[in-house]
């Protein structure tokens, strides 16, 4: 019986610590997402953020190039200098999720493009980029990388 009480206490303590950690991480994520980190030139935009959370310190960059043949975006997504490439449609693109290099068992990132709109009159593609960070299958935070207006 005594062991059972200790196990319950330990579980409650761990849950409390996770709750406190998530709370402080959310505050950091809100600060991280307060600036627009996107810059555009011609048919290309780049959005970068440096995430500095305890046990989760990474630099994430997204480079997007408009592809008029496919009406999509050719993406180069970098985490700490390791890049993956993807192509997405401008129409309802799904989130792009991948593991953090050297931490693929415990950490991951998902990127989502939102509010993508093509203006034929202004000849622009506009939208926003959001990033979600996960650690041990628990969403740490969502960071608004920024919004962009790309000349196309």
CA separation for the pair 139, 103 (Å, rounded): 15
Paired strand residues for 105:
none
User: What pLDDT sits at residue 61?
Assistant: 92
pTM of the complete model: 0.74
**Residue-level pLDDT, tens digit, the chain, 152 residues:** 455 444 443 444 444 444 444 444 454 565 455 566 899 999 999 999 887 766 667 788 999 999 999 999 999 999 888 899 999 999 999 999 988 877 778 888 899 999 999 999 999 999 999 988 887 878 778 888 899 999 99
Question: Computed from CA positions of residues 77, 109, 104, 54, in that sequence, does the dihedral angle turn out positive or negative?
Answer: positive
Tell me if 150 sits within 8 A of 66, measured CB to CB.
yes
Tell me if 131 sits within 8 A of 110, measured CB to CB.
yes
CA separation for the pair 116, 129 (Å, rounded): 10
Per domain, the residue ranges of the chain are 2-151
């Amino acid at each position: 019986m005594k062991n059972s009480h200790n196990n319950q206490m330990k579980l409650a303590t761990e849950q409390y610590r996770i709750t406190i950690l998530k709370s402080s991480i959310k505050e950091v994520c809100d600060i991280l997402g307060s600036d627009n980190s996107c810059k555009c030139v011609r048919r290309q935009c780049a959005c970068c953020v440096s995430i500095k959370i305890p046990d989760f310190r990474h630099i994430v960059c997204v480079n997007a190039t408009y592809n008029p043949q496919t009406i999509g975006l050719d993406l180069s997504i970098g985490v700490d200098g390791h890049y993956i490439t993807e192509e997405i449609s401008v129409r309802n693109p799904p989130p792009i999720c991948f593991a953090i290099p050297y931490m693929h068992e415990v950490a991951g990132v998902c990127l989502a493009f939102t509010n993508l709109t093509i203006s034929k009159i202004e000849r622009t593609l506009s939208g926003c980029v959001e990033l979600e960070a996960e650690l041990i299958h628990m969403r740490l935070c969502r960071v608004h990388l920024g919004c962009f207006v790309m000349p196309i």
